[in-house]
Amino acid sequence: MRPLIDPITHATMKPFLLSVWAICSLTVTLAHSQPTNAYWRQESASRVHDPSTIVRSGDEFWMFSTGIGIKSSRSTNLEDWQPGQSVMPEMPVWVREVVPDQRGHYWAPHIIRVGERWLLYYSVSSFGKNVSALALASNPTLDPKDPTFKWTDEGIILRSYRTNNFNAIDPAVTLDVDRRLWMAFGSYWSGIKLVELDSKTGKRITPDSPMHSLAWNDHIEAAFIHRRATNYFLFLNWGQCCKGTNSTYEIRVGRSGKITGPYLDRERKDMIGGGGTLVLASEGKFIGPGHAGIVNDGAQEWFSFHYYDGNNRGRPALGVRKLSWDKDGWPVVAHGD
């Protein structure tokens, strides 16, 4: 089936430009308490693009991002970040069976703790095609000093082929209220999809298990599902990334009482039909925010994302902002300075 978009548009440009960004020296902008409702701090850190949601392990926060072997960063305060080692420094054999021209540059990782393991999902693809794979690496700990620390390649979770009407990239994994594990994914084509995973293996429950459609738009990707009480919030991106200050990414959201949807926006428009309430758009130097995540530091919830710094030649940066919820139960992200 032909893709629902011209493959010369975003589906082509994103991976190509991500490779370009990977060569650049990047700046990370992170949260910092100030006497306003916005929290920022400029930091010099390892390269970051398509950040995972930030997770806490012991006394440290960890974040993973697009790059050679998957980049990692660690922090004790959500402000000062240090680069960690890459997750997959050696390319698994199966990678070039999926994408022959791959050089170990993996995209948009997502991490979650399930049982006794950390499960890190990531994308393997090539620009201009939906010939892609979602894969998994696991580790019992995130502490490199722990003697049990070791990333294990768990292989492919799900693939897409040029004959499919979806693209297997941008994974986001969530536990529902019953502790069932689900993975949202997708970029362009027919939109955002959802499949159930086995919570013991971290893999798809069966090769032909149901695939649910959650959202669609002409320019859509980077899903993230957050459970809050009995509701599920589907965050995703509209627009184009990876074009510096010309990027048009913006973050939208819908809400559902079931993880499989339907997800409706504030006006109760279904996200399958193009609905999506605006959460965060370009403002000032913060251009093209994307790849939402939520982390709780014990006292406050924070909303993470990347953006393109209009004051630094459009280089990608990480933003972390204070998150609150309005009286109707919708997310509110603090404004930047």
Sign of CA dihedral 201, 207, 208, 210: positive
Cβ-contact 151, 138 below 8 angstroms: yes
Q: How far apart are CA 161 and CA 108, in angstroms?
A: 19
Task: Examine residue 262 and say whether the peptide bond preceding it is cis (omega within 30 degrees of 0).
Answer: yes
φ and ψ at 20, to 5 degrees?
A: -65, -45
Among 302, 303, 322, which Cα is nearest to 37's? 322
Give catalytic status of residue 153 as yes or no. Answer: no
Cβ-contact 135, 124 below 8 angstroms: yes
Q: How far apart are CA 230 and CA 227, in angstroms?
A: 7
**209 by DSSP, 3-state: which?**
coil
Structure-token pair, residue 151: 């990333």
Q: Of the listed 154, 170, 196, 221, which one is catalytic?
A: 221
Cβ-contact 134, 142 below 8 angstroms: no
**73 by DSSP, 3-state: which?**
strand
Structure-token pair, residue 6: 């011209």
Q: Of the listed 50, 196, 250, 309, which one is catalytic?
A: 50
* Stated length of the chain: 337
Q: How far apart are CA 189 and CA 270, in angstroms?
A: 18
Give catalytic status of residue 60 as yes or no. Answer: no
Residues noted as catalytic: 50, 221
